[in-house]
Amino acid sequence: MASGAMEFHIITLFPEMFESPFRGGMTGRAIEQGIIIVKPHHLRPFGLGNYKQVDDQPYGGGSGMVMRPEPIAAALDAVMSEHPGLWRILMTPQGTPLMQEKVRELAGRKPGLLLLAGRYEGVDERVRAMVDEEISIGDYVLSGGELPAMVLIEAVARLQPGVLGNPASIEEESFSADLLEYPQYTRPEEFRGVRVPEILLSGDHGKIRTWRENQARRRTEERRPDLLKRGK
Ligand code: 4HQ
């Protein structure tokens, strides 16, 4: 092995959430093969006092609780001293939107990523200085950063060499990442009166390729014109 597994560490109050989603399927296989490592780190032991408190009321008032900086700092320090070189990311709606270009960039950040998955109304502002980057998975509000962390991990994991069974699909993917997928069909040839387009049955791979490119472009123009404008 040239450069070791890509490591995904997560600081979280709910480490159990990271068990079943990564057991089966593509990521499960990648873990078994030693291509990736997914390791949650419980924040609770770093909490303050006998109650291992990790949150507190916001200065200035307001509803909800905010995560205190000290437990997070201690957890980050502990993980970083055991695993130097991790790229630290805070999952937050205020971060850079996660798109395939960012996913590709993160896929190259060896030895790996340390994702901070918060709870409550968010983290004390001083936590921002302790991470390298803030990332959002989309403009909606969730109850915790765990699902965003899992989304990021899955997207990055599948770009690690050897994770996708078929290396040709990586190249197809970089072409298609900025376009919506073309229509796909499998058997039967006719289902509820709808036939598979004849061209896909023709065996003419040149024509099929052109048809698919046109479909992908048309579909993107109709549904997601913003993807075409965001040029590259
Ligand atoms: N969060 N993309 C964690 C999100 C979110 C998102 C809300 C982050 C709750 C505690 N994170 N806080 N969207 O909704 O990343």
Ligand 1 atom nearest residue 122's Cα: 10
- Calpha distance 126→104 (Å, rounded): 28
Handedness of CA 79, 81, 82, 83 (dihedral sign): positive
Sequence-distant (6+) residues with CB within 8 A of 195 are 189
At residue 2, the pLDDT reads: 60
At residue 3, the pLDDT reads: 80
At residue 230, the pLDDT reads: 80
At 11 the three-state DSSP class reads strand
Angle (CA) 152 213 215, round 5°: 90
Residue found under tokens 């069974």:
165
At residue 201, the pLDDT reads: 98
Helices (H), 85-224: 100-107, 146-157, 168-176, 198-201, 205-223
At residue 48, the pLDDT reads: 98
Question: How far away, in angstroms, is 39 Cα from ligand 1 center?
Answer: 20
| Joined tokens for residue 81 | 């001293």
φ, ψ of residue 65 in degrees (nearest 5): -115, 160
Ligand 1 atom nearest residue 98's Cα: 2
Reported as a single tens digit per residue, the pLDDT across 183-217 is 999 999 999 999 999 999 999 999 999 999 999 99
- pTM, two decimals, is 0.95
At residue 24, the pLDDT reads: 92
At residue 185, the pLDDT reads: 98
Rg, C-alpha atoms of the chain: 22
| Joined tokens for residue 26 | 């593509």
Residues in the chain with pLDDT < 70? 1-2, 166-177, 231-232
At residue 232, the pLDDT reads: 52
Task: Identify the residues whose C-beta falls under 6 Å from ligand 1.
Answer: 91-93, 118-119, 122, 136-138, 140-142, 144-145, 148
Pocket test for ligand 1, best of 98, 125, 136, 152 (most atoms within 8 A of CB): 136
